[in-house]
Protein backbone atom coordinates (compact mmCIF):
# COMPACT_ATOMS: atom_id res chain seq x y z
CA UNK A 1 0.00 0.00 0.00
CA UNK A 2 1.48 3.32 -1.09
CA UNK A 3 1.08 6.68 0.63
CA UNK A 4 -1.23 7.76 -2.21
CA UNK A 5 -3.36 4.63 -1.67
CA UNK A 6 -3.62 5.41 2.04
CA UNK A 7 -4.59 9.02 1.41
CA UNK A 8 -7.30 7.85 -0.99
CA UNK A 9 -8.60 5.32 1.55
CA UNK A 10 -8.58 7.97 4.26
CA UNK A 11 -10.55 10.36 2.04
CA UNK A 12 -13.10 7.65 1.23
CA UNK A 13 -13.54 6.68 4.89
CA UNK A 14 -13.83 10.32 5.92
CA UNK A 15 -16.46 10.94 3.21
CA UNK A 16 -18.60 8.27 4.84
CA UNK A 17 -18.31 9.90 8.25
CA UNK A 18 -18.31 13.61 7.47
CA UNK A 19 -19.16 14.11 3.79
CA UNK A 20 -18.90 17.88 4.12
CA UNK A 21 -15.17 17.85 4.89
CA UNK A 22 -12.38 17.86 2.34
CA UNK A 23 -9.36 15.91 3.56
CA UNK A 24 -7.22 17.43 0.79
CA UNK A 25 -7.41 20.82 2.55
CA UNK A 26 -5.59 19.49 5.62
CA UNK A 27 -1.82 19.95 5.83
CA UNK A 28 0.25 16.87 6.60
CA UNK A 29 1.18 18.09 10.09
CA UNK A 30 -2.23 19.41 11.16
CA UNK A 31 -4.26 17.62 13.79
CA UNK A 32 -7.12 16.04 11.85
CA UNK A 33 -9.50 16.41 14.77
CA UNK A 34 -8.98 20.15 14.96
CA UNK A 35 -8.65 20.84 11.24
CA UNK A 36 -11.84 18.96 10.40
CA UNK A 37 -13.70 19.70 13.62
CA UNK A 38 -14.14 15.99 14.40
CA UNK A 39 -15.57 14.95 17.72
CA UNK A 40 -14.24 11.88 19.51
CA UNK A 41 -16.88 9.57 18.00
CA UNK A 42 -16.18 10.78 14.46
CA UNK A 43 -12.47 10.24 14.97
CA UNK A 44 -13.05 6.79 16.45
CA UNK A 45 -15.27 5.85 13.50
CA UNK A 46 -12.60 7.17 11.14
CA UNK A 47 -9.93 4.95 12.73
CA UNK A 48 -12.21 1.91 12.75
CA UNK A 49 -13.08 2.52 9.10
CA UNK A 50 -9.41 2.84 8.17
CA UNK A 51 -8.66 -0.42 9.93
CA UNK A 52 -11.48 -2.18 8.10
CA UNK A 53 -10.66 -0.94 4.60
CA UNK A 54 -6.90 -1.32 4.97
CA UNK A 55 -7.05 -4.72 6.67
CA UNK A 56 -4.58 -3.46 9.27
CA UNK A 57 -5.57 -3.85 12.93
CA UNK A 58 -5.11 -0.54 14.78
CA UNK A 59 -4.95 -0.93 18.56
CA UNK A 60 -6.35 1.90 20.67
CA UNK A 61 -2.88 2.59 22.07
CA UNK A 62 -1.78 3.62 18.56
CA UNK A 63 -4.59 6.14 17.91
CA UNK A 64 -2.40 9.14 18.85
CA UNK A 65 -0.05 8.20 16.01
CA UNK A 66 -2.91 8.84 13.58
CA UNK A 67 -3.82 12.39 14.61
CA UNK A 68 -2.12 13.86 11.50
CA UNK A 69 -2.12 12.82 7.85
CA UNK A 70 1.64 12.46 8.02
CA UNK A 71 1.39 10.15 11.02
CA UNK A 72 -1.53 8.23 9.57
CA UNK A 73 0.25 7.56 6.28
CA UNK A 74 3.55 6.60 7.95
CA UNK A 75 1.78 4.30 10.40
CA UNK A 76 -0.30 2.47 7.80
CA UNK A 77 2.57 2.10 5.34
CA UNK A 78 4.71 0.50 8.05
CA UNK A 79 1.94 -1.61 9.59
CA UNK A 80 0.68 -2.79 6.21
CA UNK A 81 4.19 -4.05 5.37
CA UNK A 82 4.49 -5.73 8.78
CA UNK A 83 1.02 -7.22 8.49
CA UNK A 84 1.70 -8.67 5.03
CA UNK A 85 4.87 -10.49 6.04
pLDDT digits (tens, 9 = 90+) for 29-82: 999 999 999 999 999 999 999 999 999 999 999 999 999 999 999 999 998 876
Q: What angle do CA 47, 49, 53 make, to 5 degrees?
A: 120
Q: How far apart are CA 69 and CA 31, in angstroms?
A: 8
* CATH of 3-19+28-84 among 1.10.287.370, 3.90.470.20, 3.20.20.140, 1.10.1200.10: 1.10.1200.10
For 42, residues 6+ apart whose C-beta sits below 8 A from its C-beta are 17, 18
Please report which confidence band the pLDDT of residue 84 belongs to, taking 50, 70 and 90 as the band edges: low
Question: Is residue 12 scored above 70 in pLDDT?
Answer: yes
Q: What is the predicted pLDDT for the residue at 81?
A: 74
Q: What is the predicted pLDDT for the residue at 85?
A: 52
What's the pTM? 0.90
Phi/psi zone of residue 37: left (φ > 0), alpha (ψ -120 to 50 degrees), beta? left
Q: What is the predicted pLDDT for the residue at 83?
A: 64
Amino acid sequence: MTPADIRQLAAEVMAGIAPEVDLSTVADHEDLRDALDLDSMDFLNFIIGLSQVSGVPIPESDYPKLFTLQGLVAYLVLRHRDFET
